[in-house]
């Protein structure tokens, strides 16, 4: 079960043709599978989202972002290309050449925060004296 539907993606991005809608539907299902896998140590993400509207909204937004990134990746994966004729320089930077689904660390931290996980890396605690 996906956390978002194609209509959610269209609202957050642009109108899609029929082929894009079909691809988006598959990618939204794939994104949900990855999210359930990546966050499995915190429980059943689908059940948690059903009980927490804010988490459900966060997963919807994240799913749409993941699919948009995958669908906007160019076929060759070139993010930036530079050529100079003399003395013969060529530089190519690739960005997601395979159109993979991924999350940024800020997105991961946002979901972890919604799950009640401390993402700051620092904690405050009192220790009993010796």
Q: What is the pLDDT of residues 6-18, one digit of tens each?
A: 999 999 999 999 9
* Model pTM score: 0.79
Q: Which residue has the higher pLDDT, 123 or 7?
A: 7
Q: What's the chain's average pLDDT?
A: 90
Banded pLDDT at 98 (limits 50, 70, 90) = confident
3-state secondary structure of 6: helix
Q: What are the residues facing 78 on neighbouring strands? A: 94
Q: Which residue ranges make up each domain of the chain?
A: 6-114
Query: Residue 20 pLDDT > 80, yes or no?
Result: yes
């Amino acid at each position: 079960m996906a956390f978002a539907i194609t209509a959610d993606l269209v609202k957050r991005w642009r109108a899609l043709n029929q082929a894009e809608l079909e691809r988006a539907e598959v990618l939204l299902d794939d994104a949900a599978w990855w999210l359930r896998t990546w966050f499995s140590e915190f429980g059943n993400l689908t059940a948690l989202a059903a009980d927490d509207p804010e988490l459900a909204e966060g997963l919807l937004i994240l799913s749409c972002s993941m699919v948009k990134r995958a669908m906007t990746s160019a076929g060759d994966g070139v993010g930036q290309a530079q050529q100079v004729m003399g003395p013969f320089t060529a530089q190519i930077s690739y960005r997601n050449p395979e159109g993979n689904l991924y999350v940024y660390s800020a997105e991961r931290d946002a979901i972890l925060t919604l799950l009640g996980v401390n993402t700051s890396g620092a904690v405050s605690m009192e220790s009993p004296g010796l």
